[in-house]
Amino acid sequence: MALALSLPATLGPARETVLAMTFGGVLFTIMVQSLSMDGLLRWLGVVDRSEERLEYESRHARVLSARAGYEHLQRMHRDGLISSHTWEQFRATIRLRLEALTEAVQEALRNAPAMEREQLAIARRENLRAQRAMLSRLRREAILSDEAYDDLVSEIDLSLDREAEGQRIEDAGGQPSAPIRQLLFIVVQGRDLHRASNALAASGAACTRLKSQGGFLGQASHLLWSPSLRDDCPWCSRP
C-alpha cells in the first residue's frame, strides 16, 4: 500500500488502477481470507481440540486467574491498601478455592494421559529455554565470555533438538518413522560450534556433540555426529 501510494501523479489513470488493485487485494485478504481461515483450519483438521483438552484448558485458566487474584490481594495487604482483618478473611477462602481448582486440574490430567505427557515435554522445553535466556543475560552483562556462551548455548540447543526429536518419535507411537540411512560426522573448531549446530538444526538434522582432545590453531575441536532418516542427505555429496 505504501509503494502504491508513493507512485507519482504523473502516471494518470494507471496510478488509480494500481491503487484500486492494491487496496482491493488488501481488503480481500482482511475481510475474506482472515475471517474464513479459522473455519478452513477446522475443516482440514489442522486445529483439532478434543473435549478433554478444552476442559483442561478451562480448569487451568481458572487456577491461573484465581492465583492472580490471590497474589494481587496479597500485594495490596503488603502495601497497606487493605487491612489485616480483611486480608485474613479473604485469604482462607481463596486458598481453599485454589486447592480445589488445582485438584480439578490434576484430575483432568489423570483422565488424559497423553495431555500429561505433553505438559511434561513442554515443561522440559521451557526449562531449557529459561536456561538459554539466563546465559544471554550473563553475556550481555559481561559475566560470561563469548566463547563460554557459545559452548553452553550449543549444549542447550542440542538438548532442545533431542527433545523435539523425542516428541516426534513419541507421536509416531514410540518408533522412528524410518531406519537411519545416513550418518554424518563433522569436525569443527570451538568458535564454529554454535554456527554449525544451528545450521544442522535449521536443515532439520538433529546432532550430538562429542568434545575431542585435539585442536588446531589454539582452538579446541568438537565432533558432531548427525543421523539422517532420508536417503538424500542434504549435507552429503553422494549417498
Q: What is the mean pLDDT of each run of 10 residues along the chain (239 residues)?
A: 88 90 90 81 68 80 88 89 86 87 83 74 81 85 83 76 58 50 72 70 64 63 64 49
Considering the domain boundaries, does residue 191 fall inside one?
yes
- Do 106 and 124 sit in the same domain of this protein? no
% helix, strand, coil for the chain, step of 5: 70, 10, 20
Considering the domain boundaries, does residue 14 fall inside one?
no
Domain range enclosing 62 = 51-111
SS3 222: strand
Q: The cell 473455519 sits on which residue? A: 39
Considering the domain boundaries, does residue 32 fall inside one?
no
Considering the domain boundaries, does residue 126 fall inside one?
yes
d(Cα 239, Cα 233) in Å, to the nearest integer? 7
- Do 161 and 100 sit in the same domain of this protein? no
d(Cα 2, Cα 162) in Å, to the nearest integer? 44
Q: Please check whether residue 125 is in contact with residue 157, taking contact to mean a CB–CB distance below 8 angstroms.
A: no
- Do 217 and 125 sit in the same domain of this protein? yes
Q: Please check whether residue 224 is in contact with residue 201, taking contact to mean a CB–CB distance below 8 angstroms.
A: no
Query: Residue 179 has what pLDDT?
Result: 57
- Do 102 and 128 sit in the same domain of this protein? no
- Do 139 and 218 sit in the same domain of this protein? yes
- Do 123 and 205 sit in the same domain of this protein? yes
Would you call 218 exposed, middle or buried from its count of C-beta atoms within 10 A (0-12, 13-18, 19+)? exposed
How many angstroms separate the first and last alpha carbons of the chain? 48
CB atoms within 10 A of CB 49: 9
Domain count, the chain: 2
- Do 134 and 150 sit in the same domain of this protein? yes
Considering the domain boundaries, does residue 235 fall inside one?
no
Whole-angstrom CA distances from 155 to 131, 159, 228 are 11, 6, 20
CA dihedral 132, 135, 137, 138 (to 10 degrees): 170
| Residue 53 CB partners (closer than 8 Å, separation 6+) | 112, 115
SS3 172: coil
Please name the amino acid found at residue 209.
R
- Do 128 and 104 sit in the same domain of this protein? no
